[in-house]
Amino acid sequence: MRAEQLRKRIWPVQLATLVKEVPKRSADYIYELKFDGYRILAVKAGAELRLFSRRGQDWTNEFAVVAKAAQKLRASELVVDGEVCALDERGVPRFGLLQNRGNSPPKLAYFVFDLLWREGRDLRQLRLEERRDALARVLGTPSKDSVIALSSAVPGEPRDILRTACSSGMEGIVAKEKGSPYGGGRGLTWLKLKCTKRQEFALAGYVPLLGTRVGEVGALLLALKGTDGAFHFAGKVGTGFTSEMRARIGKLLEHDHIDEPPVVDAPRLAGARWSRLKHVGEVEFIEWTSASELRHPSFQGLRKDKTPDECVREDVAESP
């Protein structure tokens, strides 16, 4: 079986649901750190090793150092689920570092947390603990410089774990129900608690930086897909950019420039340059305003692994 066929056998990936507080039956869950990177499946089929994004894009060349390390895992056929991250000087994952990997690329790490397939056997219906044990055996004893690391279960009270994760600069934590199988899509057996509010937005255009020519982003214009199927204006973000990012994103949006806003309820903005909805960005913010816009937003980077149709408002669910 080839890697692409094997990927399709186990698609789609399991996703976590955002909640406001730890589960009421907190002892029924395993807690892991939430990593700030790209969700990646490593699929090995004999000599073939490929890395796939959550949309099924082949990112083997994008993360060649990870692919090389995954090729050495102890199995001739497997599917591993995890997150590829770029680490800062303290070893903390930073999504923004994945945007700039030119002359001095950051250190990459592949934090793996589930084993879905091994040697012709579909493992998704096994208990979570069994899959984690099998994954640990596949990884063996990692070296100090290993690119691949197991996402360890963090002991302690979940509120303390979350507090420590936030103070360390992590994105949050994930709670996974003990004994649960691996189910594709979003459900309540995996829950995520974030340190700050973050989500993806479709990029509807931009306002040029004051005093610059067209093509230099001053603020991005954001949109979300509503329950009516249309895209609605969701505010703008003007911080979190480097000069290189302002020019690069401006060029992308200018390539798809249109005269009319692609969103419902678009405000009148002097100098606004609207764009076809093709690109997605991740934004961190404090809260939603009563006008359904963002308070104190900060741009984190482009999300090449997601589409505008996936950009819906991520409201907090009730903890089970």
Residue type at 132?
R
Query: In angstroms, rounded to a whole number, what is the distance separating the alpha carbons of residues 320 and 22?
Result: 9
Q: Which entry of 8, 20, 34, 278 is annotated as an active-site residue?
A: 34
260: CB partners within 8 A, 6+ apart: 274
Q: What is the CA radius of gyration of the chain?
A: 20
Beta strands per DSSP E along the chain: 14-18, 29-34, 38-45, 48-53, 77-87, 107-118, 121-122, 148-150, 172-177, 185-194, 197-208, 217-225, 231-237, 257-258, 273-275, 280-285, 287-288, 294-295, 298-302
Contacts of 164 (CB under 8 A, 6+ apart): none
Query: Catalytic annotation on 34?
Result: yes
Type of residue numbered 141? T
Name the CA dihedral angle for 127, 132, 133, 139, rounded to a multiple of 10 degrees. Answer: 150
> Helix-strand-coil percent breakdown of the chain, rounded to 5?
20, 40, 45
Kindly tell me the burial class for residue 79, based on how many C-beta atoms sit within 10 Å of its own C-beta (0-12, 13-18, 19 or more). buried
What is the C-alpha to C-alpha distance for residues 28 and 319, in angstroms, rounded to an integer? 13
Q: Can you tell me which residue has the tokens 């963090």? A: 154
Eight-state DSSP code of residue 118? E
DSSP H or E run through 254: helix 243-255
Block residue for tokens 């592949």? 110
Active site residues: 34
